Structure 1
Amino acid sequence: MLRKMIIIGLVVVLSLFSIGAAAAANQPAPRQFDLPIKVLYNARQVASDVQPEVKNNVVFVPFRAIANALGANLDVTPDWKTITFVRGDRKVTITIGSKTAYVNGQKQELLAAPYATKGRTMVPTRFVSEQLGETVEWDSLSRYVWIGHKNVPALEEMTEKVKIDPYLKYFTGKSAEGVLKIWDYNSPDFGKHHKTVRFVKETDWPLTIGNTTFSRIDRVEINGKEYFRIVSTVKGTLGVPLYMLQSGQPLKMRPENTSMREYAGDWRAFYNPVINASDEIYLGIKDYKKFKLKDVEYIGLQIGSDSVILMENYFK
């Protein structure tokens, strides 16, 4: 009898995995949003004072930004029209307004010509990077240009733990206790409150938290409604709950709208609504629809970590 029950249980579990796999396989292509393009080198964002742009399906970035990231030397003509990148035994020369480039003296044709904008000279990211010896990959889900390796660093490498005491004033309301509590059964502090917090900036993405990689978190609009869009490798059934902290207001939970989830290989796109009727149901906020994201001070990720994880609200 026991053996029969075990077999039935295994069949149920395998059936659920099959259904989940089939559902993922039948998903339509993920929604596309006009999010800021990010150029990454070895899984870290390339710093630039001018936003990367797309021209004729080519991603352009300021030449100094890409040169600094890749460690290339520069040689610029007095009129600033011709730029030469030198890295090891590789030499790439391009000219503003021209589709003709030279790689180690050999002529190459570009898909789009370099140009000047906002006092910066923009060069084709893929061409320059590949000719200087790097691999390049376009990620349409996250709108990332990945250059070099994709070994995403851990949260602990990129952030510092600070005492949570100055921020406890934000953790009020019915859900605050659950957010502050340590739920890791293996932790000697299981059931106690976190004593530290880690702050994540927009420029810190992508990050690995525990066994999960997060590509980016953005605000998007769908059919006139605001959502947090989380791109990650989370494979659980409930996605990643977020919560919002605001002075003088109770903590507001924002779980995923599971019907909106999208799949792209190992990645998932999750959508957590910014405005939620649960504020009225659980917190008694009658005018919950008047909520404004710009008034939020911190946004938290409810996921296992050695600390509470907060993002300063970069959606203002």
Structure 2
Amino acid sequence: MKKGMLTLLAAVVAGGTLLGFAESTNAAKAVKAVKADSKKKQVISSTSVEVLLHTRKMKFPDARPYKDENDRVLVPLRFVSEALGAKVNWDPKTDTATITKNELKVEMTVGKLSGLVNGQEKTFDTPMVKKQQRTYVPLRVVSEAFGEKVEWDNVSQWVWIGKKEFKTLEELGYKPQSIEPFKKYFKKEKFLLNRENDQGQVIGQFKKVMIIEPETLPFQFREHTVIMDMGLMGADKDKKSGQRISMRTNSRGDIGVNIFHLMDDGVPRFRNSISVEKHADKVTSTYRYKIRSSSDELLNIQNPHYWDLGDVKYIGFYDYSKEYMILMKNSWRES
């Protein structure tokens, strides 16, 4: 039953694309919304990057990693060293850092392209630097010296350190809670609350929900599907009709994970992916979704075109086979 309704919704959304809402094949690169804390001084760079340690994004409290003019990623010295389980000894007279972990040791001096790695002199392709009262060290030098694999992800401008073994929400410590307080968002389209078996038969309703944050990503969504990141693409914030939500996963299929928007009016807006970009890494793809759709008019929504992503409270990841529903808090919500 539900599959038939979803097929109809998908067809209507696709029809909207044919009626003039087509996605541009030259969509701009993903733009990530950043809420800056004006009380903190951060290194702002057009080439800022994310660093993931064993698939979890590292949080840098007051200084961001960045890519320098030599195309190398530099990170705050003390923070990343301690995250790798190492200790830092700083000599202010010589601007030299000695980083140790068990029997391993790295010695580097600000501005110099050579240093000692486990007792052997090494030449680096970019030096350790001081910037905005912080000391930055080449990430690859430190990580590999301590036995961690380093991989550059050109698609998302990420650096992967260590094992790429993605965790489920349960493994990340999330626990399901009652869905009752969230049923107010499903006054219409209640079929989204139904669970089904592999044959498409309704076997009950969701009783639990898992609430996650955007920072939860990446995580193992299904057995063979990892939701890696989400962002905005297309027009800038003032041209909301041209915006798209993007979702990067490890899938290579033509259709992405279905999502839905939950708002205070109690009418879920179901969205299937409208286009896909399969990346050159031959592993991941980015799927694009409409924010508003012509299909919303069929749901008898009052003023269907006068809302935007900032009105959405939760973004749901649709999977009728799970024992709980997954809802992500909307990081683009207007306060």
Please confirm whether the aligned pair reaches a TM-score higher than 0.5, indicating the same fold.
yes
Query: Tell me, what secondary structure is at the counterpart of 1:170?
Result: helix
Q: Cα distance 1:298–1:33, how it changes in 2: closer, same or farther (>3 A)?
A: closer
Deviates more, 1:265-274 or 1:81-90: 81-90
Q: Tell me what 1:15 maps to.
A: none
Displacement after TM superposition at 1:92 (Å):
1.0
Given the two structures, how large is their TM-score scaled by the length of structure 2?
A: 0.75
The one-letter amino acid paired with 2:121 is K
Higher helix share: 1
Q: Give runs of aligned pairs for residues 21-100 of structure 1, distance below 5 A.
A: 32-33=29-30, 35=32, 37-49=49-61, 50-56=63-69, 57-78=71-92, 81-100=95-114
Given the two structures, how large is their TM-score scaled by the length of structure 1?
A: 0.79
Describe the superposition over 1:222-263 as per-residue Cα deviations: whole angstroms up to 9, x where unpaired: 5862222111133554311111112235211222113x4324
What is the CA–CA distance in structure 2 between the aligned matches of 1:310 and 1:229, rounded to whole Å? Answer: 16
The one-letter amino acid paired with 1:129 is S
What is the CA–CA distance in structure 2 between the aligned matches of 1:112 and 1:33, rounded to whole Å? Answer: 28
Q: Are residue 204 (structure 1) and residue 219 (structure 2) matched?
A: no
Q: Tell me what 1:169 maps to.
A: 184
Query: Tell me, what secondary structure is at the counterpart of 1:155?
Result: coil
Q: Cα distance 1:183–1:202, how it changes in 2: closer, same or farther (>3 A)?
A: same
Q: Are residue 138 (structure 1) and residue 155 (structure 2) matched?
A: no
What is the CA–CA distance in structure 2 between the aligned matches of 1:172 and 1:120, rounded to whole Å? Answer: 52
Q: Cα distance 1:118–1:219, how it changes in 2: closer, same or farther (>3 A)?
A: farther
Q: Give runs of aligned pairs for residues 6-25 of structure 1, distance below 5 A.
A: none
Q: Cα distance 1:96–1:135, how it changes in 2: closer, same or farther (>3 A)?
A: same
Q: Cα distance 1:178–1:249, how it changes in 2: closer, same or farther (>3 A)?
A: closer
Displacement after TM superposition at 1:32 (Å):
4.4
Among 307, 312, 330, the alignment partner of 1:296 is 312
Displacement after TM superposition at 1:33 (Å):
3.9
Displacement after TM superposition at 1:195 (Å):
0.9
Among 197, 217, 227, the alignment partner of 1:184 is 197
Unaligned runs of 5+ in 1: 1-27
What is the CA–CA distance in structure 2 between the aligned matches of 1:167 and 1:265, rounded to whole Å? Answer: 38
Query: Tell me, what secondary structure is at the counterpart of 2:292?
Result: coil
Describe the superposition over 1:62-108 as per-residue Cα deviations: whole angstroms up to 9, x where unpaired: 12231122111111124693222112322112233333332124333
Q: Tell me what 2:283 maps to.
A: 266
Over the aligned positions, Cα root-mean-square deviation in angstroms equals 2.8
Among 230, 233, 250, the alignment partner of 1:220 is 233
Describe the superposition over 1:190-224 as per-residue Cα deviations: whole angstroms up to 9, x where unpaired: 43111111122222222112211121122223586
What is the CA–CA distance in structure 2 between the aligned matches of 1:249 and 1:59, rounded to whole Å? Answer: 45
The one-letter amino acid paired with 2:68 is K
Unaligned runs of 5+ in 2: 1-24, 33-47
Q: Tell me what 1:126 maps to.
A: 140
Contact conserved, 1:30 with 1:141, CA < 8 A, in 2? Answer: no
What is the CA–CA distance in structure 2 between the aligned matches of 1:305 and 1:112, rounded to whole Å? Answer: 48
The one-letter amino acid paired with 1:73 is K
Query: Tell me, what secondary structure is at the counterpart of 1:169?
Result: helix
Q: Tell me what 2:250 maps to.
A: 233
Q: Tell me what 1:18 maps to.
A: none
Q: Cα distance 1:52–1:221, how it changes in 2: closer, same or farther (>3 A)?
A: farther
What is the CA–CA distance in structure 1 between the aligned matches of 2:72 and 2:307, rounded to whole Å? Answer: 39
What is the CA–CA distance in structure 1 between the aligned matches of 2:250 and 2:197, rounded to whole Å? Answer: 20
Displacement after TM superposition at 1:269 (Å):
1.0
Q: Cα distance 1:163–1:137, how it changes in 2: closer, same or farther (>3 A)?
A: same
Among 242, 251, 266, the alignment partner of 2:259 is 242
Describe the superposition over 1:14-72 as per-residue Cα deviations: whole angstroms up to 9, x where unpaired: xxxxxxxxxxxxxx999744656221112222222133211121112212231122111
Contact conserved, 1:47 with 1:65, CA < 8 A, in 2? Answer: no
Query: Tell me, what secondary structure is at the counterpart of 1:167?
Result: helix
